[in-house]
Structure 1
Amino acid sequence: MQNLKNGGVIWLTGLAGSGKSYIAEELCRKLKEKLNNIIYLDGDELRDLLGHYGYEKEGRIEVSLKRSNFAHFLSSQGMIVIISAISMWNEIYTYNRKRLKNYFEIYIKCDFEELKRRDKKGLYSGAIQGDIKNVVGVDIDFDEPCSDLIIDNSKLDNLEEKVSTILNSLQKHL
């Protein structure tokens, strides 16, 4: 993780409800215990900051590219940027790997049945019934990433163990 002292991007991707933000927040907390150049950008909050974009695939890709450019801007100034966002398309994976220095991608994978069970906002049930459009994993296809690390978050237990796995993997890769 020595390279991260000069900036980098840790990008957590996964479907809505997979636990990206949950894990990213704890990862941020743990990293802040050792480093002071950490910033966490949640996908929804960053979407609001960048402006409202469409939720169809093209709009989602557009806002993901803007997230990547913002992460590049911050990391080039020595910040370690943690991003949690859906952004699950090959265009984004390729763009990030080419553009971002010290880039580490984590796929927060979760069984679809579990996602439907966690569906507090009715996103998946509404999409399955046809009441909601443009839901990634239902009516918008996604590209499953070949990430640097895959965390199965089908069960929300062992948060510390999952974050420890991420930190160990960062240690080896960056």
Structure 2
Amino acid sequence: MSKSTNIVWHQTSIQKEDRRNKNGHGSFVLWFTGLSGSGKSTIANALAQKLYEENKQVFVLDGDNVRHGLNKDLGFSEEDRKENIRRIGEVSKLFVDSGQIVVTAFISPFREDRELARSILDKDEFIEVYIKCSLQECEKRDPKGLYEKVRKGEIKQFTGVDSPYEEPLAPELVVDTQKNSIEDCVKEIIQFLQLQNKI
């Protein structure tokens, strides 16, 4: 892939702080990471609904949805997974610059890739949220029937089974969906954001 050359950053007339002031809240990324079936998308959308009802500017970037468009050219090799996360980091930054709260729901199995996404944003704009749930429970839920396909040998290199998932070492927040209801998980995240003066 050729790299862009002879490009110069053009300063925008409306700054990030202007948009934050108009919206009346901060803009940042809540980066949900966890195994398939842990509840990332469900919690992301429930949280977004709650924030939306409170007149917050919020948008959900969901792993499967993004692969239908922006990242439809990517597979699931390690290289493609890295590029998938890099692109989402860049898109998230654009949303943050527009003054919005971004909730991402991506397995994002590798610590290095999550740290790359963090590095794209400014300090305190990236909040890693580990959506914690055991592999056994995720496989029991199997909302998309993926684990069943894995066990039948129809899917290879599946995270948590025959491809690694690296748990966050120091996430800003851990939300345990095996022990808590969706409603309680959303409350926990909102309380965290309030304590951090994010909303």
1:126 positional shift = 2.5
- SS of 2:25's equivalent in the other structure is helix
Q: Which among 26, 47, 52 is matched to residue 67 of structure 2? A: 47
Q: Which runs of 5+ in 2 are unaligned?
A: 1-19
Q: In the aligned structure 2, how far is the partner of 1:167 from the partner of 1:11?
A: 14
Higher relative contact order (CA 8 A, sep 6+): 1
**TM-score with structure 2 length normalisation?**
0.79
- SS of 1:78's equivalent in the other structure is coil
Q: In the aligned structure 2, how far is the partner of 1:128 from the partner of 1:63?
A: 25
Between Structure 1 and Structure 2, the one with more helix by share is: 1
Q: In the aligned structure 2, how far is the partner of 1:33 from the partner of 1:130?
A: 43
Q: In the aligned structure 1, how far is the partner of 2:174 from the partner of 2:86?
A: 22
1:67 positional shift = 0.7
Q: Which runs of 5+ in 1 are unaligned?
A: none
| 1:152 maps onto 2:173 in alignment | no
**TM-score with structure 1 length normalisation?**
0.89
Q: In the aligned structure 2, how far is the partner of 1:29 from the partner of 1:73?
A: 21
**Is the Cα–Cα contact under 8 Å of residues 104 and 170 in structure 1 kept in the other structure?**
no
Q: Which among 121, 145, 150 is matched to residue 122 of structure 1? A: 145
AA aligned to 1:54 is G
Runs of 4+ in 1 over 6 A off after TM superposition: none
Counterparts in 2 of 1:24-35, with a 5 A limit?
Answer: 24-35=44-55
Q: In the aligned structure 2, how far is the partner of 1:121 from the partner of 1:30?
A: 25
Q: In the aligned structure 1, how far is the partner of 2:107 from the partner of 2:100?
A: 22
Q: Which among 46, 57, 82 is matched to residue 61 of structure 1? A: 82
**Is the Cα–Cα contact under 8 Å of residues 85 and 117 in structure 2 kept in the other structure?**
no
Q: In the aligned structure 1, how far is the partner of 2:105 from the partner of 2:162?
A: 21
- SS of 1:12's equivalent in the other structure is strand
Q: In the aligned structure 1, how far is the partner of 2:143 from the partner of 2:126?
A: 32
Q: In the aligned structure 1, how far is the partner of 2:92 from the partner of 2:28?
A: 8
Paired residues in the alignment total: 172
- SS of 1:108's equivalent in the other structure is strand
Q: Which residue of 2 aligns with 1:91?
A: 112
- SS of 2:87's equivalent in the other structure is helix
For residues 85 and 154 of structure 1, do their structure 2 counterparts lie closer, same or farther at Cα, with a shift above 3 Å needed? same
